[in-house]
Amino acid sequence: MAVIVRFFAGARAAAGVNEISLESSSAMHILDQAAAIHPKLGQVLPQCSYLLDEVSLRDLSIIVADGSTLDVLPPFAGG
């Protein structure tokens, strides 16, 4: 099993893919791995918010369990 990392909007454009699968680790380590695989993400991730299994995630030191989904959401503009 693994963690599914899904990218939305600008994060998807930076990654060039909709999602990737990575080994379980802390959320920060998973995001660092994603940026290592897709370097343009490094410019987007600092402005993003995150959902872990559809719940807002603020503490990136949390260990993400196998089978979980980590969503990467850049800021959205609109009115």
Whole-prediction pTM: 0.92
20: domain range? 3-73
For residues 16 and 24, what is the distance between their CA atoms, to the nearest angstrom?
22
Q: For residue 18, tell me if it sits in a domain.
A: yes
pLDDT in tens, 18-30: 999 999 999 999 9
Q: For the chain, give the mean pLDDT.
A: 94
Q: For residue 16, tell me if it sits in a domain.
A: yes
Q: What per-residue confidence (pLDDT) applies to 75?
A: 84
Domain count along the chain: 1
Q: For residue 53, tell me if it sits in a domain.
A: yes
Which domain CATH number covers 35?
3.10.20.30
Q: What per-residue confidence (pLDDT) applies to 48?
A: 95
Q: For residue 27, tell me if it sits in a domain.
A: yes
Q: For residue 79, tell me if it sits in a domain.
A: no
pLDDT in tens, 26-46: 999 999 999 999 999 999 999
Q: For residue 78, tell me if it sits in a domain.
A: no
